[in-house]
Amino acid sequence: MPNRWKPNVTVAAVIERDRRFLLVEEQTAEGLRLNNPAGHLDPGESLVQGCIRETLEETAHGFRPTALVGVYLSRLPSLSRGTDMPQTITYLRFAFCGELGEFLAQRRLDHAIVRTVWLTADEIRASVQVHRSPVLLQCTEDYLAGARYPIELLHSDLGGAPRVNAQG
């Protein structure tokens, strides 16, 4: 299968304090957008490790995931790199909630991150037109509805050895 389809795996942190949510404002090709601290899973890391890393890189805060809020599949239109050919990119997002850690004031934020902001749920609902991800609001609503799944549901085998199924 030369053109096997694979979704882009991303991790996101849903962080709430005093009824406000920590979001990032980032520069994109479409202008400034709001998002959870989130990003692509890197090779060799677990979903939890990826969420910790992305939160630190985008907010300069430590983060300890304590529960899975949900798993979200979204498809977004995009242009192929270097061409004007439209394509659709599929993202598989694992959103976690947890405990916000220490702020590291000397740490620089990722290059595209302009700043962090704390918004209420109503402010997030009112800003849908500038959400980077179509599931930002859904993650927030699920969190507010009490969605919490044990992290122990997730298993990682990071040994790197190729697996052979029972049929060959």
CATH at residue 66: 3.90.79.10
Tell me: the pLDDT tens digits for 135-158?
999 999 999 999 999 999 999 988
163 against 43, higher pLDDT? 43
Q: Is 55 part of a structural domain of the chain?
A: yes
The answer to whether residue 163 is domain-embedded is no
The pLDDT of residue 82 is 63
Cβ atoms 34, 23 nearer than 8 A: yes
Supply the range of the domain harboring residue 19: 8-152
| Sign of the Cα pseudo-torsion (39, 43, 47, 49, in order) | negative
Asked, for residue 59, whether it belongs to a domain, the answer is yes
Which carries the bigger pLDDT value, residue 151 or residue 167?
Answer: 151
Domain count, the chain: 1
Burial 57-86 (b: 16+ CB within 10 A, else e): bbbbbebebebbbbebebeeeeeeeeeeee
Whether 32 shows a pLDDT value over 50: the answer reads yes
User: Could you give phi then psi for residue 18, rounded to 5 degrees?
Assistant: 55, 45
Tokens read off for 117? 């902001």
Report if residue 37 sits inside a domain.
yes
Query: Quick check: is 168 in a domain?
Result: no
80 belongs to a structural domain: yes
pTM of structure: 0.88
Within a domain: 157: no
What percent of the chain shows pLDDT beyond 90? 78
Rounded to an integer, the average pLDDT of 53-80 is 92
- Checking if the pLDDT of 164 tops 80, the result is no
Residues 105-133 pLDDT 10s? 999 999 999 999 999 999 999 999 999 99
Question: Count H helices, E strands: the chain?
Answer: 3, 9
Residue 107 placed within a domain: yes
